[in-house]
Structure 1
Amino acid sequence: MIGEREVLTRAQLMAGGLSRRGLVRALNEGVIVRARRDQYVSAAAPSAVVQAVRIGGRVTCLSLLQLLGVFVFANDVVHVHIPRGASRLRSPESVAKPLGARGRRRARLHWWPLSATPPAHSACTGIVDALAHAVRCQPPRQAIATLDSALNKGLIGFADVEDLFALLPRKYRVLRSLIDGRAQAGTETLMRLMVRGLGHEAVPQVHFARFGFVDLVVDGWLVVECDSRAFHSDWAQQVKDRARDLELAKLGYVTLRFTAAQILHQPDDVLAALRGMLGAGRRKPPPRN
């Protein structure tokens, strides 16, 4: 009836074959939700969609990217694009309440014009506009990690990256050369940028014939792995990780592992560890096979 990221008016529902009685039944049975006057969404819609429509706009920026599985460092508010000239903005909690101070603490409003008008039924902005909003909403390193993630997931291509930066103020163009879509996770991008900040070269997703890819190879000899709980918490996977480290050591590589939590929440400790390891002396890169 209504997609999870769609918003329809009563007239659109009727045009789709729903009768007045059917509309009342769908509301009473909790199949659809009246988010605001003459704006209906699916009961299965994510809370960000319901809140954005209720406020009076579309989901964008970090909220939309979270729905798409793109890396976002942290976000606990709904990001909403509001058309210029919009009025009667409502609280994300209740359409009966205006968007007061409490509601604004739970929402981030984006007012700048969109580069492309979304379909009338869409409750979300386009991906390029959402990413442009996200660049302006995050610190530079986190913004780069978000763009890397969108590239890696195939949600955008490098041509879209050029379009995206054309939407942004000139000061953001310095970030363009730092984007690399090979990273499989946002933590890998953050680690790559840490290494680069220390003056060293980090190559993402390097392939070894014996066992596949490693997250980063720094200066040709140091392998850095960024372990997440989702893929490295069970003992069988940890045994597999140790076996990979053993094979790398046989080839002359040193392996340094960090958890995602360390990279995200203890960056100073991670940087100190990198300085200590890399400062121990540059090594001749071993052959990769």
Structure 2
Amino acid sequence: MNAAHPSDARCDDPLMDEFDAFGIPTHRCVSYQELRGSGVSREQIRDALALGLLRRARRDVYLSGDIPDVVFRAQRVGGRLDCVAALEARGVFVHRRGQLHVQVEPHRARLRSPHSRRKRLEADGATATIHWRSQSGDAHTVDVVSALVQSFDCQEPRQIVATLDSALFLGEVDSDDVAQIFSRVPHRYRSLRRLIDGRAESGPESLARLQLRQFGRRIELQKVIDGVGRVDILVDGWIVVECDSRAHHAGWQKQEEDRRRDLALAARGYACVRPTANIILTEPHVLTDAVRGLLACRR
């Protein structure tokens, strides 16, 4: 039941040549007319919808069944996945996860609920942040640079830096992209550029680094210590901060390895603190209080 690839697909997105098993482009929406024009019969469309190979977001807007649900919900509202939601879908760190942000063309009206195309957005009580602006191209999700630019309005300064760190570390953007981003945001944000460091391996690590700057001490990232290996953050040359997440530090075997490293650090005169990602995100003072106490002891 494969459809012919639509011949008029136009998009600068690197995914423009990717199609699902049904022959639907995975990077954008298609219309009913386009489906029929590519050789798909009415019966095939009906069967594909029933099997979940094809999804209809709203009137005359169809998407591949392979797309993430958050993309589908954005299209159901009436626009493209945008801002922190688009970044999260790419795996980029954002502080508040699970939010729906949608880029909508200024002329569009009658936005729908992300849960039902039969309900209006304002009548459903559903949560969606709408960004009214024009966006060229036909992809169902805004490009990563535009999403990063928009995220400046929806995050606090430290969170913005952590998101940019993450995008750099993952290879979603490069230094030229960062320059473009800062040329497009208000001037008041320009001072954040010097704080960006793509060596940070996680968002909590970036946030921890920014929190620790208040002490005015030397802060080193991904420092290699002889006999121990690489550590996340080194403060003042002797306080090691390891930012632990459940994904990478779960299980007793891994915890024992962490403790062995801590003992090796202690044997070399280093103090080590291990805040979890959750502590860094929700109780940042716990980390700063611990480092402040250690610095006071050394004095």
TM over 0.5: yes
Query: After alignment, is 126-135 or 10-19 more displaced?
Result: 10-19
How far apart in 2 are the matches of 1:43 and 1:225?
40
State the 4+ residue runs in structure 1 displaced beyond 4 angstroms: none
Does residue 100 of structure 1 match 2:122? Answer: yes
Residue 93 (structure 1) shift: 1.7
Pick the aligned partner of 1:269 from 267, 270, 286: 286
Does residue 201 of structure 1 match 2:218? Answer: yes
Alignment of 1:1-289 (within 5 A): 1-100=23-122, 102-103=124-125, 105-114=126-135, 117-118=136-137, 120=138, 122-281=139-298
1:144-203 Cα deviation digits (max 9, x unpaired): 111100100000001101101111111111111111110011110010001102322321
How far apart in 1 are the matches of 2:276 and 2:237?
22
Q: CA contact under 8 A between 2:228 and 2:265: conserved in structure 1?
A: no
Residue 101 (structure 1) shift: 5.0
Secondary structure of 1:71's counterpart equals: coil
Query: After alignment, is 255-264 or 92-101 more displaced?
Result: 92-101
Structure 1: gaps spanning 5 or more residues: 283-289
How far apart in 1 are the matches of 2:206 and 2:134?
29
Query: After alignment, is 198-207 or 215-224 more displaced?
Result: 198-207
Residue 86 (structure 1) shift: 1.6
Q: TM-score, normalised by structure 1?
A: 0.90
Letter in 1 for 2:47: R
Residue 132 (structure 1) shift: 1.0
Letter in 2 for 1:19: S
Q: CA contact under 8 A between 1:195 and 1:201: conserved in structure 2?
A: no
Tell me the matched-pair count. 277
Distance 1:164 1:113, change over 3 A: farther
Give the share of equivalent positions with the same residue, in percent. Answer: 43
Q: CA contact under 8 A between 2:54 and 2:63: conserved in structure 1?
A: yes
Q: TM-score, normalised by structure 2?
A: 0.87
Letter in 2 for 1:173: R
